[in-house]
Amino acid sequence: MKRIKGEITVDAPLGVVEAVGRDAKTWPEWNTALKRVVASDDFPQEGSTVEMSYELSGFKLTLPMVATAYAPGDKMELSFETSFVSGKNIWQYGPREDGMTDLACVLEYEIPGGQIGEMIYKGIIERMLADTLADMLENLADVAEQRAAERVAA
């Protein structure tokens, strides 16, 4: 299974960072590749679902996901399986003593296709996913920090 990990420290309290990260309606605000999100009413509780439609470097992809673990204030895990990719996203939240939040996202996935799949992975997908993950975390941090500042100002 392939694994890509991104980490960032967000200048916002855990509750704000987690609220932005778990509210599927906000995801297109910080994930620029994401064009559409439809989540079940009970999302992100275990067993709930979310369907995401992406556009990455000209590729269009619809990815149905199931929440396989959710621990408020700690982690959210989403699993997916399609004919061309399977895996999971693991979001970990960690409060810091200084009021900021450490946020990590791990993408674990498998691409079928033997050597051809491996060539595609190394040539295109690995780079694209790593860049997208870094941008996503930066954007999520920006949204959470803005929301935290708005709360302080109110």
The domain that contains 49 carries what CATH number? 3.30.530.20
Average pLDDT over residues 57-68: 87
Give the predicted TM-score (pTM) of the model: 0.87
Q: pLDDT digits over 8-39, tens only?
A: 999 999 999 999 999 999 999 999 888 999 99
Average pLDDT over residues 36-53: 96
* pLDDT class of 130 with cuts at 50, 70, 90: confident
Domain span at 104 = 2-153
Residue of 115 and 138 predicted with greater confidence: 138
Asked whether residue 120 carries a pLDDT value surpassing 70, the answer given is no
The number of folded domains in the chain is: 1
Instruction: Give the CA count within 13 Å in the CB-facing half-sphere of 118.
Output: 3
- From residue 100, alpha-carbon distances to 12, 53, 68, 76, 147 in Å are 5, 31, 27, 19, 13
Q: Nearest-CA neighbor of 83 among 55, 105, 67, 61? A: 61
